[in-house]
Amino acid sequence: MIGQSSPVDPTVKFADQLKAMRDRIAELERSMTQVDEWAAVTDPPVVESNWTLVSFDAVASSKWVEFLLVVERSSTGLVVPDTTGNVTNETVATLADVCRGSITFGVAIGTGSTGRGVFATYIPSSGLVRLNAFASPADVTVGEQFSFGGLVRTSP
């Protein structure tokens, strides 16, 4: 394999070793130029109670999802419990199956194009979009909007 040293086998002719290396390089080049098939996501996310879907746009492939989700706090406010702005994994929405994969940890996603800045994660294996912390400790009021999104790898 390229980038790894291996002992030269004196019983194999140099021409055979060179051919094997060229074949491996060609295989790697083919795999690097394969393009994922992307498709528009037509199923809207399911938003949690106290949130309303404002807009959603996404495309997905077998290993990636790119999305922009905008939600609004719709009924009761959300108390931000301390001066650090931390909240306990407030689930905002669940994305459709086509947006999911096998990665089980929370991946940081972009926020703040609508509303104030927050730290949020997307968990590809479950489809959960979660609020984790706010840039300020002020409570969330009814009618306040937030956006979440980014390009996320969903499967290895």
Question: Consecutive 10-residue runs of the chain (156 residues): their mean pLDDT?
Answer: 55 75 77 73 95 94 91 85 75 94 87 73 94 79 88 87
Residue 69 is predicted with a pLDDT of: 93
This prediction has a pTM of 0.73
| pLDDT tens per residue across span 127-143 | 999 988 877 777 888 99
Query: 59 near 39, Cβ under 8 Å?
Result: yes
Pairing of strands 107-111, 39-40: unpaired
Q: What CA–CA distance (Å, rounded) separates 151 from 135?
A: 22
Tell me how far apart the alpha carbons of residues 109 and 151 are, in angstroms, rounded to a whole number: 8
In this structure, which topology does domain 39-153 adopt according to CATH?
A: Immunoglobulin-like (2.60.40)
Per-residue pLDDT, 23: 84
Backbone φ, ψ for residue 14 (5° rounding): -55, -40
